[in-house]
Amino acid sequence: MTRRWPTIGVALAVLWLFVRGVSPEPATVAGEFLLGLLVGLPIAYATRGFYTTDVRLRRAVGAVPWVLRYLAVFLVELIIANVEVAYRVLAPSMPIDPDVVAIPLRVETDAAIATIANSITLTPGTLTMDHEPATNTLYVHAIAASDRRAVVGPIRRLEDYALRIFDEPADPGDRPPGRSGPTGVGPPDDTADDHSAGNDGADPERGDSAGNDAHPERNASVGEDANPEHDASAGDDDSEGHRDGTGGHADGE
């Protein structure tokens, strides 16, 4: 364990170098870094109450490879999303199919959820609309949601790395929780959930059984048993009454 505010101060000093845009000369970099420490350390100490006081340095160093992988996946998805959105905007037919996708998360900490939500919003074509704490579900608006697996897949990859970065209890191989979203949004759009919904829902089978077993029997019983007998009995009674009436009229004559 180590105190966290000095680590934050050093990180602010490194950020200072990028903000200043210093030339890659050792003397200039060293001077700007010291200036960044003079600015960053007091700020980190003054704001130490806004974050945890201690940090596990070994775990933080071990998370660096996962951070690099997260950034690599995010940059690739950022480029792909820019190209796809540009194509959809410039295409004469405007092939867009906007919808809201409910994505149950495996990450639980606020930092991990905020990181994934901001990554989604920064990617063109998708926008994080809301997070429901009760079910730990993100609601994402996508400009092209006809293929929901294409929307959820990149988010799941980012979440796999976030599980390692933020030392979450879940593992990347764990199945996301299957929770339903509010009315009008649709089911959680995970690839596993879509697959299970297609296999377990069995709408076609229910439709076949309903169409082949229930309705024909009802129609047959109604059409072949009830109505003909009712019509026949009604017809016989009417005809008999008509004959009786006719006979009575003849007798009367």
What is the arithmetic mean of pLDDT over 109-119?
92
Q: Per residue in 243-252, pLDDT tens?
A: 444 444 434 4
Same domain membership, residue 107 and residue 9? no
Residues 51/4, Cβ–Cβ less than 8 Å: yes
In a shared domain, residues 116 and 182: yes
Asked whether residue 251 is domain-assigned, the answer is no
Q: Which residue has the higher pLDDT, 227 or 165?
A: 165
3-state per-residue secondary structure call for 77-111: HHHHHHHHHHHHHHCCCCCCECEEEEEECCCCCHH
So what's the pLDDT on residue 7? 81
Report yes or no on 243 lying in a domain.
no
* 217 and 109 inside one domain: no
Q: What gap in Å lies between CA 206 and CA 224, rounded to an integer?
A: 25
**200 in Cβ contact with 116 (< 8 Å):** no
- The predicted pLDDT at position 138 comes to 94
pLDDT at 205 over 80: no
Checking if the pLDDT of 108 tops 50, the result is yes
pLDDT, average across residues 175-195: 48
Together in a domain, 70 and 184: yes
Task: Say what the pTM is.
Answer: 0.55
What average pLDDT does the segment 162-180 reach?
80
pLDDT of residue 2: 55
Q: State the distance between the two ends of the chain, measured CA to CA, in whole angstroms.
A: 121
* List of residues 6+ apart from 229 with CB closer than 8 A: none
The residue from 16, 36, 55 where one domain ends is 55
Q: 17 pLDDT band (50/70/90 cuts)?
A: confident
Dihedral angle at the C-alpha atoms of 64, 116, 176, 51, nearest 10 degrees?
70
The domain containing residue 176 runs over which residues?
A: 64-189
**pLDDT for 54:** 58
Please state the rounded mean pLDDT for residues 193-200: 37
What region, left, alpha or beta, does residue 107 occupy, with left being phi > 0 and alpha being psi -120 to 50 degrees?
Answer: beta
Q: Tell whether 96 is covered by a domain.
A: yes
Residue 101 has a pLDDT of 93
| 242 lies in some domain | no
Per cent of the chain over pLDDT 90 is: 33
pLDDT tens profile 19-31? 877 777 888 888 8
The tally of domains found in the chain comes to 3
Can you tell me whether residue 145 is helix, strand or coil? Answer: coil
- The predicted model gives 163-174 an average pLDDT of 87
Same domain membership, residue 171 and residue 90: yes
Q: What is the pLDDT of residue 53?
A: 55
Mean pLDDT of the chain: 73
Tell me: the pLDDT tens digits for 46-104? 887 776 655 566 777 788 899 999 999 999 999 999 999 999 889 888 888 899 999 99
Evaluated on CA atoms 197, 200, 204, 206, the torsion sign reads: negative
Note whether 49 and 127 are same-domain residues: no
pLDDT, residue 247, reads 44
Same domain? For 129 and 215 the reply is no
Residue 22 lies in a domain: yes
**79 and 48 together in one domain:** no
Residue 252 domain-assigned (yes or no): no
The DSSP secondary-structure symbol of 132 reads E
Average pLDDT over residues 36-55: 80
- Residue 176 phi, psi (nearest 5): -65, 150
What pLDDT score was predicted for residue 91? 87
φ/ψ of 251, rounded to 5, equals -60, -40
Residue 132 has pLDDT above 80, yes or no: yes
Domain check: are 183 and 80 in the same one?
yes
Q: Tell whether 132 and 181 lie within a shared domain.
A: yes
In a domain, 249, yes or no: no
* 128, HSE (Cβ side, Cα atoms, 13 Å): 19
Higher pLDDT, 37 or 56: 37
Q: Please give the Cα distance from 121 to 2 (Å, whole number).
A: 33
